[in-house]
Amino acid sequence: MRAKSPTEVTEVHGRLSRRALLLGGTMLAFMTGLGFRMRHLQLDQADQYRLLAEENRINIRLIPPARGEIFDRNGIVLARNEPSYRVTLVPEDAGDVDAVIDKLATLVELDPNELDRAVTEMRRSPPFLPVTIADRVSWDELSRVAVNTPSLPGITPEVGLSRYYPLRGDLAHVLGYVGPVSDYDLSKIDNPDQLLRIPRFQIGKVGLEGRMEDDLRGVAGTKRVEVNAVGRIMRELDRREGEQGDDIQLTIDQSLQSYAQARLGEESAAAVVMDCETGDLLAVASAPTFDPNLFVEGISVADYGELTGDDHRPLAAKSVQGTYPPGSTFKMITALAALEEGIIGFDDTVYCPGHMEISNRRFHCWKRGGHGQMNLVQALRESCDVYFYDIALQVGIDKMSEVAARFGIGEKFDLPLSGVARGLNPSREWKNSVRGEDWVVGDTANASIGQGFVLASPLQLAVMTARLATGKAVPPRLVKSINGVEQPIAEAPPLDISPTHLAEVQRGMYAVSNHRRGTAYSKRIIADEYRMAGKTGTSQVRNITAAERARGVTRNEDLPWNRRDHGLFVNYAPFDNPKIAVAVVVEHGSGSKAATPIGRDITLQALYGGTPPLSAYPTKDRNSIEKQQEELEKLVPGREITRRNRA
Amino acid sequence: MSYLEYNVKHVPTGLRKVLHLNWALLLLITAVAGVGFLMLYSVAGGSFRPWAEPQMKRYALGVFVMLFVAMVPIWFWRSISGFAYLVTLVLLVLVEVMGSVGMGAQRWIDLGFMRLQPSELMKITLVMSLAAYYDWLPTEKTSKPLWVLIPVLLIIIPTMLVLRQPDLGTSILLLTGGAIVMFLAGVHWGYFAAVISMVVGLVVAVFQSRGTDWQLLKNYQYRRIDTFLDPSSDPLGAGYHITQSKIALGSGGWTGRGFMQGTQSRLNFLPEKHTDFIFTTLAEEFGYVGAVSLLSLYALIVVFCIASAISNKDRYSSLLILGIAGAFFLFFAVNMSMVMGLAPVVGVPLPLVSYGGSAMLVLMVGFGLVQSAHVHRPR
């Protein structure tokens, strides 16, 4: 290799230096470019990007308000909120979902049904949304999960509030229940509250919970939280508290309600107890009943199937939704219509041969042999059908219908309950417009004894009885106060019925229960201060056919259950100073004898404010009543019930 | 040139060499590394673990390595340049054959105590070998086609190997770094014009080949290009990196949100916040002022290297210094372009700042060579 001359070296190095400077210049130019780009991003567009960063970082979360609680008239809790612990899983964070669930299963007892539901939900929803894996876990289980969260990716133990009905079935039909918001619920609401978008938020579905949802729900609070890229909350920035829902106090008396429910037992029956003066509904029972707590977190298909498959229809609120032909309990209306119209006097009598021919058809009295000569009080006392056929044909359906309306038959009462029934107070116009047929005298005869077209709910019968007792148009009332504000008791206008006419009908009702020949005499009250006035009723579901009679079926009890007659009993007490009105309907109870003792027992329970002394009962009943009282006391809840804590 | 051509008499010996180090350069490097420690401390949420502390240890080791390399005479390094290149090439082939598989790309050989990335090492040894080649080559032959082909092959072979791994970022760095040395050595303009047209042709080919059997890039690389061209098309998927990175940069403003107050990085919106995207955290927390300061530090390092190269009369030393400075420039230029949304996300770390051992050590070896050339420069 030859040596390079110094000039050559200098020349070569010079070229290198020139190119090095050129390169350096290019580099610096590029860096300047980067500087300008940075300037553009960081200064010119700073506001825009800062906003984006805030949007990234800050999330607004809703704080669900505590739902209003429901109390009875004495402050006993009927519906409250309990802390509910659940475990949720975010599939995205979990990675291997099955492995995480397997691990979780060693800490918490997982319900296979719940798990199936969760897996389906996971498939449908985006992977970053939490899915409830275990609901209503115990505090111990929750703690175990909380301690182990580092090894359970995607699992979060959560604390929320869940509805709880301490009385279980005892007031299920009035309270209704809450349940997780469904797509169907949302579709019914035009501009849904943001709260309803919270997964599994509990919304009132039926009953009071459903009808008074707006009062009970409250207003959501909000909190601004800082979240990280995966949505985990890092800290709370600020919060605006919501408003908790309004507490609602009902007119219901829990102890009476529980007693009534227990007394109805497994019969398919309903009972309504109303305060005669104020219209306060003290008990609204429907049997058989169900546990509304089953619905709170979403009912299982098996449980729901069991409830809907039962021919005694436990889900139906028979006391307000069920309508029945009132049968003989309607006879007071017929009597008052005739008295007001001046057709009959108190002592006018009708001869009952056991039947009556009306337009070539034979209408029977329940007593085939006939009652003989009957005046008004006697006809009510012994429930003579022929007497009422006779006076009804004279007074006509128009007057009867008008009087019935005054007593609340066919009126839809404005109560915050689901499906409050209107019933049916038939008239010529009704039959013409709805059925396209003319009213015939046979219809009037049927209506006179509460058969045919007439339909009334147990609630309406209780209202009717209260009005009979007071002579005032007492409306029923269920809500006593909202958030501590007492709801007004509606002024009860007079019924515009002659007091002497009313007194005569009341005498007839008194005789039903207290005269030796009265239809409810055997189930009377003998405590003098609590004597009751009432009326029994039997409403036919169908007639016993000739073929059945030939087979030897003469007694109603021999028929299949769902073809037997309904039993009804209405009463008020005490007779001298009416305090409560009671209506009882026992579906397919084979006549009034199923309803009368229930009405009597509930009346006594209400008047004594607890278990009545045996001395209030007729002597021959006392042994069986004593046994019955012991049985029922076991059924009525006591320990679990908590009183409202007034701060 | 032979050993004797250096004016050995004036070259410092023994520990006196330490006094002749380019101390300003070392200071600048330390300042940049310091910024790195600060940011790693911040992205860990105000903790030396898990990143700042190991990074500091590595830097200490790096300084030691740099000093060691600097103490060894530059002529020794020149004499092993070709050999070092060959060894690195063999290692590159080795990772191709038996390297451990990680992150979908074979990039390192597990030495037990550390993972060696031959592609990182290649950035230095390629520059060394090219510098040695042009030092050896008589200047009049520099632009002769045959003598141009040799360095082109020296560049292309490792580039293709790295591209196969696949590591687009490093292969671009190798290609451009090699070209810079060739340019400095005085290769005729025409060749560069030809290469640039070739690159343009290649880009066209890359796009044309998409979806065919002979597709040149992996699908994820195509997606990166798509996202680069239109990041808003997929803000939560492929464009997420760039979108979030720009948000972080942009929300910094003039002076930033303050140390450890960057919400984008602290709340994990930024991916790779401690490695490739660490610059965004700096820009978010210290704003435009902080970002420009770091850029200026880098610029100063480059300027000091160029000054050192120009004042060095030894051709090998000059080329080596400039080559390393060029590689260093490419490192941060590509990284910054990437996080600012000017270049595709190709996976190039921010030199001396990003968390990572292999890159840091290789850079320190490079700066050791620069120091050695400086210490042993002809006087």
State the Cα–Cα distance between residues B363 and B379, nearest whole angstrom. 27
Q: Is the pLDDT of residue A3 over 60?
A: no
- Taking alpha carbons only, the member of A562, A560, A566 closest to residue A537 is A566
Residue from B130, B192, B242, B251 to probe the interface with A (highest A Cβ count within 10 Å): B251
**pLDDT above 70: residue A404:** yes
Please answer yes or no on whether B283 and A17 come within 8 Å at the CB atom: no
Angle between helices B315-339 and B118-136 (to 10 degrees): 140
Provide the percentage of residues in chain A whose pLDDT is more than 70.
91
Q: What is the mean pLDDT of residues A508-520?
A: 93
Q: Cβ contacts (< 8 Å) between B334 and chain A: which residues?
A: none
> Residue A11 above 80 pLDDT?
no
Q: Please tell me the least confidently modeled range out of A137-146, A278-287, A578-587, A637-646.
A: A637-646
**Nearest CB to A42; choose among B268, B291, B313:** B291
Would you call B253 an interface residue with chain A, using a CB distance cutoff of 8 Å? Answer: yes
Residue A217, both tokens: 């729900």
Check CB contact of A16 with chain B, cutoff 8 Å.
yes
At A61 the three-state DSSP class reads strand
**A273-to-A325, A458, B81 alpha-carbon distances in Å:** 19, 10, 106
Domains, chain A, ranges and CATH? 60-250 (3.90.1310.10), 254-291+315-635 (3.40.710.10)
Instruction: Give how far A50 is from chain B: nearest CA, Å.
Output: 4
The string of pLDDT tens digits covering residues B186-239 is: 888 888 898 889 888 988 888 888 877 777 777 777 776 776 666 566 555 556
Cβ within 8 Å of A, B 258-287: 263-264, 267-269, 283-284, 287
- Residue B102 confidence (pLDDT): 47
pLDDT value at residue A33: 93
Collapsed DSSP state (helix, strand, coil) of residue A119: helix
Band (pLDDT 50/70/90 cuts) for residue A637 is low
B377 touches chain A (CB under 8 A): no
Instruction: Please determine, for the modelled complex, whether the ipTM score is greater than 0.90.
Output: no
Question: Above 70 in pLDDT, residue A299?
Answer: yes
Mean pLDDT of chain A: 86
- Greater confidence, B7 or B303? B303
Q: Does A24 touch chain B (CB under 8 A)?
A: yes
Chain A, chain B: beta-carbon pairs less than 8 Å apart: 133
Output the 3-class SS for A610-629: CCCCHHHCCHHHHHHHHHHH
Residue-wise pLDDT for A549-571, tens only, equals: 566 666 777 778 878 889 999 99
Q: CB distance from B302 to chain A under 8 Å?
A: yes
Alpha helices by DSSP H, listed for A125-212, are 139-148, 172-175, 183-188, 207-211
Alpha-carbon torsion (B130, B136, B138, B141), positive or negative = negative
- Within 8 A of A37 by CB-CB distance, chain B residues are 340, 342
Confidence of residue B379 (pLDDT cuts 50, 70, 90): confident
Nearest to A417 by CA among A149, A20, A70: A70
Q: Minimal Cα–Cα distance from B151 to chain A, Å?
A: 17
Please identify among residues 53-112 of chain A the ones whose CB lies closer than 8 Å to any CB of chain B.
53-54, 56-57
Identify the bridge partners of residue A568 per DSSP, sorted by sequence position. Answer: A537, A585
Q: Which of B175, B171, B276, B167 is nearest to B218 (CA)?
A: B167
Note the Cα B248 to chain centre separation in Å. 24
Residue A43, min C-alpha distance to chain B (Å):
5
Q: According to the model, what pLDDT value does residue A212 have?
A: 92
Strand A372-374 to strand A350-352: parallel, antiparallel, or no bridges (unpaired)? antiparallel
Among B75-79, B186-190, B248-252, the range with the most confident prediction by mean pLDDT is B75-79
Q: Is the pLDDT reported for residue B377 higher than 70?
A: yes
Q: Which residues contact B210 (CB under 8 A, 6 or more apart)?
A: B217, B222
Tell me what pLDDT residue A90 has: 79
B184 in Cβ contact with B323 (< 8 Å): yes
Report yes or no: A139 at the B interface, CB cutoff 8 Å. no
CA distance B2 to chain A (A): 10
Residues A180-208 pLDDT 10s: 888 788 777 776 677 777 767 888 999 99
**What are the sequence ranges of the domains in chain B?**
3-375
Between residues A401 and A223, the one the model is more confident about? A401
Could you tell me the two tokens for B292? 């420009």
Mutate to test the interface with A, among B1, B141, B247 (most CBs of A within 10 A): B247
Chain A neighbors of B184, CB-CB under 8 A: 16, 19-20, 23
Cβ A41–B315 below 8 Å, yes or no? no
> Which residue is associated with the tokens 């099955």?
A98
B290 burial type by CB count under 10 A (0-12 exposed, 13-18 middle, 19+ buried): buried
